[in-house]
């Protein structure tokens, strides 16, 4: 039975320049399947009412590849950041009431149990946003989770915008979130691009909600492999090894 109050948005518009391939990143093969298939399978496992994929680079090819899947597509014509990408789903969900789960199309190794736990914890709490985070002593190129002295989540700072003190924080953003749908798009509408990359950051929705006195919570994983995003040929090779059950020495 579908969860009628759950929609999934998968961000899959990126070009993947560092992959050194002519293919859109989400079409790159991993163990015989395009990257995006793994994330779609995760979405279907949750049985959401809607699954919306935001495409951009090689949009027609991505749509064609997954034309036989139960999915809706929206196009991000300009690559203006993750927040801008998520905004493209607003028209599709304007009449939807419930929760929206944000996934990344290049993150094939996250476990369905982790996503189920994230949604379950969100439902149990009074939070308007629940973010999946990684607690790790290792160095990662992810945004940092900034908390106040009581341990409450304040904001997410992207690495390129982080101060030296913020770069030392050992809790990292995964890029996976659960939001109240209507409040999510309200927050997205208030984003600006005044940052190091001059992009509309999806992460800034967290600070917006906190400033508006809404509760934001984090659900932690200590498994860096789960939130591995495929951004380079090395990442892809690492994912292959992990899928094959080989030991991985590059995470901690």
Per-residue confidence band for 34, with pLDDT thresholds at 50, 70 and 90: very high
- pLDDT > 90: what percent of the chain? 88
Domain ranges of the chain: 3-243
Supply the pLDDT for residue 215: 96
Residue 249 has pLDDT above 60, yes or no: no
Catalytic residue among 2, 18, 144, 238: 18
Cα–Cα distance measured from residue 34 to residue 7, given in angstroms and rounded to the nearest whole number: 22
> pTM (2 decimals)?
0.95
Supply the pLDDT for residue 2: 87
Supply the pLDDT for residue 21: 84
Sequence-distant (6+) residues with CB within 8 A of 86 are: 9, 11, 54, 102, 184, 188, 202
Q: C-alpha distances in angstroms, 53 versus 94, 183, 246?
A: 16, 20, 31
Cα–Cα distance measured from residue 212 to residue 146, given in angstroms and rounded to the nearest whole number: 17
Q: C-alpha distances in angstroms, 26 versus 40, 110, 161?
A: 11, 15, 27
Residue 248 has pLDDT above 80, yes or no: no
Residue 110 has pLDDT above 60, yes or no: yes
Give φ, ψ of 76 to 5 degrees: -95, 100
Region 97-115 average pLDDT: 96
Q: Quick check: is 18 catalytic? A: yes
In this structure, the number of other CB atoms found within 10 A of the CB of residue 103 comes to 25
Supply the pLDDT for residue 252: 44
Cα–Cα distance measured from residue 199 to residue 216, given in angstroms and rounded to the nearest whole number: 23
Region 131-152 average pLDDT: 94
- pLDDT > 70: what percent of the chain? 98
- Quote the mean pLDDT of the chain: 94
Per-residue confidence band for 10, with pLDDT thresholds at 50, 70 and 90: very high
Q: Which numeric CATH code is attached to 3-243?
A: 3.90.550.10
How distant is the alpha carbon of residue 211 from its chain centre? 22
Give φ, ψ of 49 to 5 degrees: -70, -35
Q: C-alpha distances in angstroms, 61 versus 33, 64, 105, 230, 231?
A: 15, 5, 15, 19, 20
Region 73-94 average pLDDT: 96
Region 135-164 average pLDDT: 94
Q: Decide the pairing of beta strands 29-30 and 72-75.
A: unpaired
DSSP string, 152-173: -EEEEE-GGG--HHHHT--EEE
Q: What token pair was written down for 96?
A: 């939807």
pLDDT digits (tens, 9 = 90+) for 220-234: 998 999 999 999 999
Tell me the residue ranges of DSSP E strands in the chain: 3-12, 29-30, 33-34, 48-55, 72-75, 99-104, 129-135, 144-147, 153-157, 171-180, 216-221
Of the candidates 15, 33, 32, which has an alpha carbon nearest to the alpha carbon of residue 24?
15
């Amino acid at each position: 039975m579908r969860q009628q109050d759950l929609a999934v948005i998968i961000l899959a518009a990126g070009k993947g320049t560092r992959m050194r391939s002519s293919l859109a990143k989400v079409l790159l093969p991993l163990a015989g399947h395009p990257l995006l298939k793994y994330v779609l399978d995760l979405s279907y496992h949750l049985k959401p009412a809607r699954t919306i994929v935001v495409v951009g680079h090689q949009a027609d090819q991505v749509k064609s590849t997954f034309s036989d899947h139960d999915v809706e597509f929206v196009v991000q014509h300009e690559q203006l950041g993750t927040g801008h990408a998520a905004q493209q789903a607003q028209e599709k969900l304007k009449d939807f009431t419930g929760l929206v789960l944000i996934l990344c199309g290049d993150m094939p190794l996250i476990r369905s149990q982790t996503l189920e736990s994230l949604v379950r914890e969100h439902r149990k709490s009074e939070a308007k946003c629940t973010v999946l985070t990684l607690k790790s002593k290792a160095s990662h190129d992810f945004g940092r989770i900034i908390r106040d002295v009581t341990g409450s989540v304040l904001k997410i700072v992207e690495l390129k915008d982080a101060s030296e003190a913020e770069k030392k924080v050992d809790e990292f953003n995964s890029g996976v979130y659960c939001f109240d749908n209507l409040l999510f798009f309200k927050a997205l509408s208030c984003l600006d691009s005044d940052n190091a990359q001059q992009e509309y950051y999806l992460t800034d929705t967290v600070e917006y909600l906190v400033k508006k006195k809404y509760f934001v919570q984090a659900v932690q994983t200590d498994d860096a492999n789960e939130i591995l995003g495929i951004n380079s040929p090395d990442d892809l090779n690492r994912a292959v090894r992990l899928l094959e059950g080989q030991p991985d020495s590059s995470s901690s």
